[in-house]
Structure 1
Amino acid sequence: MALTGGIGSGKSTVARRWVELGATEIDADVLARDVVAPGTKGLALVVEAFGSKILSPDGSLNRAALAEIAFSSEGNRKKLESILHPLIQEAAQKIISTQSGPVVYTIPLFVESNSPLKFDAVVTISCPEQVRIDRLVRDRGMAWEQALARVKAQATDAQREAVSDHVIDSNCDLNELISRADRVFAELVA
């Protein structure tokens, strides 16, 4: 199953709960880091597209420098996505093909990636933009402007919900979110 939602929506909380209930998680954000590790084709392609200024002195990707460039314009963001999304999808497919039980693929940019991967269900974690921005500022230490830019760079909840089989509203307390996640998981694995 694909689990999507905007930055700060609560995807990680739901994914952790589903792992507790027996699912295997594949996290697209982790794969995104893996495909640009030193020595990878992904890192070479990103450097080719954006220049060596995105590298740290040790040759690894300076994620903050890349984010600053990528989120500075829609063109740069789309260029980065066109490089990373196919590599991430390929890595995910390799892992998915080895699993026999329930798999949750946590993919924030499900709508944006036009994923060719096939899922039994797509679940969106939905939460108002302002709540997500507040969470990013409070929990991740982002500046308000940076949080707003990240939220605005992603698909809207309405766009995600349009391609979803289930929507979990995460604008609630943790216990209620867990309860909602449990109900959807039980339905999906039944």
Structure 2
Amino acid sequence: MMTVIGLTGGIASGKTTVANYLSEHGFAVIDADIAARKAVEKGSNGLQQISEVFPGTLNEDGTLNRKLLGSIIFNDKEKREILNQIVHPIVRNIMDEEKDAALKQGKAVIMDIPLLYENHLEHTVDEIWVVYVPYYIQKSRLMERNNLSESEADARINSQMPMEDKRKKADVVIDNSDDLCALYQQLDSLIKKYTSI
């Protein structure tokens, strides 16, 4: 039986870099963000539900106005919950189909799920890898990457479970507080372990 690994981290922790590297080395990476985009594509059932619950969040061309929806939910926990109740079941179905297809091909599967702990999805994977960075690095990378103010960066980071909590719960911690070379060394040793099974 091939392993299903849940890959998570925090915003700007470098999880995408890790996922891309693992994908290049033969793992099937199933990305929750990509599935989430599919779940709210133009004309989809998910998008229709969102537009009914959050009026005014559609662009003129019938696509989702992500920036507007983001500004509504980022500082409102209840509205964020409502959105999650619409999107998550659809995302899970998309990811499950992709996971089953990859397992049939005999690949080790990475379920790339940013909010794995927040959404209590631990039971859907065999083990969990957390891409970890300390708060101050996470914050400075996020401010630089998204051109955010300090308070905007804090709000986004604080909408997720603290990195320290994720780190404590992880089966494997991938420390990304150094450079890419150090990151890839850690990944190479993990890849060896999983491709020799």
Q: TM-score, normalised by structure 1?
A: 0.93
* Equivalent residues, number: 189
- Distance, in Å, in 2 between the alignment partners of 1:94 and 1:147 is 34
Structure 1 unmatched ranges of 5 or more: none
1:7 to 2, 6, 11: 11
Tell me what 1:62 maps to: 65
- Distance, in Å, in 2 between the alignment partners of 1:30 and 1:12 is 12
Tell me what 2:42 maps to: 38
The range that moved more, 177-186 or 85-94, is: 177-186
CA distances 1:98-124 after superposition (whole Å, capped 9, x unpaired): 012112111100011222763222100
1:86 to 86, 89, 101: 89
RMSD: 1.5
Tell me what 1:144 maps to: 150
Write the letter of the residue equivalent to 1:160: K
**Structure 2 residue matching 1:105: 3-state secondary structure:** strand
- Distance, in Å, in 2 between the alignment partners of 1:167 and 1:184 is 11
Conservation of the 8 A alpha-carbon contact between 2:35 and 2:91: yes
Write the letter of the residue equivalent to 2:108: P
Tell me what 2:187 maps to: 181
CA distances 1:49-103 after superposition (whole Å, capped 9, x unpaired): 211x211111100100010001021111122122211111111001001012112
Tell me what 1:28 maps to: 32
Percent identity over the alignment? 32
Write the letter of the residue equivalent to 1:7: I
Q: Alpha carbons of 1:93 and 1:116: their partners in 2 closer, same or farther (altered >3 Å)? A: farther
Tell me what 1:167 maps to: 173
**Structure 2 residue matching 1:113: 3-state secondary structure:** coil
- Distance, in Å, in 1 between the alignment partners of 2:162 and 2:108 is 27
**Structure 2 residue matching 1:188: 3-state secondary structure:** helix
- Distance, in Å, in 2 between the alignment partners of 1:28 and 1:21 is 20
- Distance, in Å, in 1 between the alignment partners of 2:38 and 2:150 is 28
Conservation of the 8 A alpha-carbon contact between 2:122 and 2:128: no
1:71 to 70, 74, 83: 74
Structure 2 unmatched ranges of 5 or more: none
Conservation of the 8 A alpha-carbon contact between 1:112 and 1:154: yes
Conservation of the 8 A alpha-carbon contact between 1:166 and 1:184: no
